[in-house]
Amino acid sequence: MHVSVMPAEVLEYLAVKPEGVYIDASAGLGGHTALIAERLTTGKVIANDRDPKSLEMARTATAAYGEKIRFHHGRFGELDEALREAGYAAADGLLADLGVSRYQLTEPERGFTFLSDGPLDMRMDQTTGITAADLVNHTAEKALADLIYQWGEERRARKVARAIVRARPIRSTLHLAGVVEQAVPRTGKLHPATKTFMALRMAVNEEPGELDRLLAIGPELLAPGGRLVMISFMSIDDRKVKERFRDLGREGRATVLTKHPRQPGEEEIRRNPASRSAKLRALEKSYQQSAISYQPNPAHERG
């Protein structure tokens, strides 16, 4: 069952207007999209996702809202196109949930999980791009170690990369998990392959660059007074969001609505343990017309 993260907080900070235009930048299975659509009369919500399978499931799940929802298959950097195609110049709110959906994590054929065997895919959009198998079997050892260290924050990345290279060809998710576990045995509750899988997923889907593009384009798409709400699950992502929001606030281009990130309450965590690490930040665009520019911090760029 799909459970949307922090639904009450999302609605609080989006402050949905019945006639407003909203973008759900990562619609997933449509949970947040439905929450927004339910509060619209003449308004519209643009449900965007880079995963066509998820988008099709969202379309089915939200069919009751009819013309209130317009679906768009694309990346964060294509949200301006989604807004333009829907016939709007600006949005009253933009929501981005940066988490991976439970559907993607639990379907073996998607290759995100090591709880059951499957192909080493990990692509959000399985119609394009390189797979995790391409990365683990063809990336040079040092580059692979750097990737696992930088994006997975895995301190034992060199040992992991060395083991992967020696075990090539890596054939499946369980094969990779086993290789990693032999190289760096379990020391706590976390499976030894968790950080490696996370790093590979981020690299396959170019997630750091996609987040940079979203932080650049998101404020630009808002009308004056529009709200930008972002939910992150990893410290590396939350740090980027925090710094971008802080800069916009200092420049007077937006008002940061969350001095500290909002996090799920105990009851939500009990009902939906996956929400535990969620952090929500929000801002409101100022009522001035000057363009918002953004240059990502070079330290955040993937080498």
Residue 35 has pLDDT above 80, yes or no: yes
Query: Average of pLDDT values for 19-35?
Result: 97
Instruction: Tell me the pLDDT band of 300, cut-offs 50, 70 and 90.
Output: very low
Contact 93, 148 (CB under 8 A): no
Q: Which of 42, 22, 44, 40 is nearest to 218 (CA)?
A: 22
Q: What average pLDDT does the segment 250-262 reach?
A: 97
- Domain co-membership, 18 together with 56: yes
Q: Which residues partner with 280 through β-bridges?
A: 231, 262
| Any domain includes 63 | yes
Q: Would you say residue 292 has pLDDT above 50?
A: no
This prediction's pTM = 0.90
Domain that holds residue 173: 125-204
Do both 156 and 78 map to the same domain? no
- 140 domain residue, yes or no: yes
295-to-178, 217, 237, 292 alpha-carbon distances in Å: 40, 11, 16, 10
Q: Is 139 found in the same domain as 87? A: no
Query: Residue 107: inside a domain, yes or no?
Result: no
* Residue 269 belongs to some domain of the structure: yes
Q: Which amino acid is at 79?
A: L
Final residue belonging to a domain, choices 204, 230, 261 = 204
In a domain, 193, yes or no: yes
The CATH number of whichever domain residue 292 belongs to comes to 3.40.50.150
Same domain? For 165 and 233 the reply is: no
pLDDT tops 70 at residue 108: yes
pLDDT in tens, 117-144: 999 999 999 999 999 999 999 999 999 9
The verdict on residue 263 lying in a domain is yes
Q: Taking all residues of the chain, what is their mean pLDDT, rounded to a whole number?
A: 93
**Are 133 and 86 contained in the same domain?**
no
Shared domain for 134 and 273, answered yes or no, is no
User: Which one-letter amino acid corresponds to residue 114?
Assistant: F
Cα separation values, 270 from 177, 225, 266, Å? 29, 35, 6
CA–CA separation, 120 vs 256, rounded Å? 40
| 289 and 214 within one domain | yes
Regarding whether 278 and 236 lie in a shared domain, the answer is: yes
Please say if the pLDDT value at position 161 is more than 60.
yes
- Of 204, 231, 259, the domain-final residue: 204
The residue from 139, 171, 204 where one domain ends is 204
Number of domains in the chain: 2
HEC per residue, the chain: CCCCCCHHHHHHHHCCCCCCEEEECCCCCCHHHHHHHCCCCCCEEEEEECCHHHHHHHHHHCHHHHHHEEEEECCHHHHHHHHHHCCCCCEEEEEEECCCCHHHHHCHHHCCCCCCCCCCCCCCCCCCCCCHHHHHHHCCHHHHHHHHHHHHCCCCHHHHHHHHHHHCCCCCHHHHHHHHHHHCCCCCCCCCCHHHHHHHHHHHCCHHHHHHHHHHHHHHHEEEEEEEEEEECCHHHHHHHHHHHHHHHHCCCEEECCCCCECCCHHHHHHCHHHCCCEEEEEEECCCCCCCCCCCCHHHCCC
Omega within 30 of 0 (cis) for the link into 169: yes
Same domain for 84 and 218?
yes
Q: What is the pLDDT of residue 287?
A: 84
Whether residue 11 is found in the same domain as residue 98: yes
Q: How far apart are CA 193 and CA 174, in angstroms?
A: 10
Regarding whether 98 and 145 lie in a shared domain, the answer is no
Residue 117 in domain: no
Tokens of 30: 């449509």
Q: Can you give the CATH number for the domain in which 139 is found?
A: 1.10.150.170
Residue 118 in domain: no
Q: How far apart are CA 74 and CA 134, in angstroms?
A: 23
156 in the same domain as 180? yes
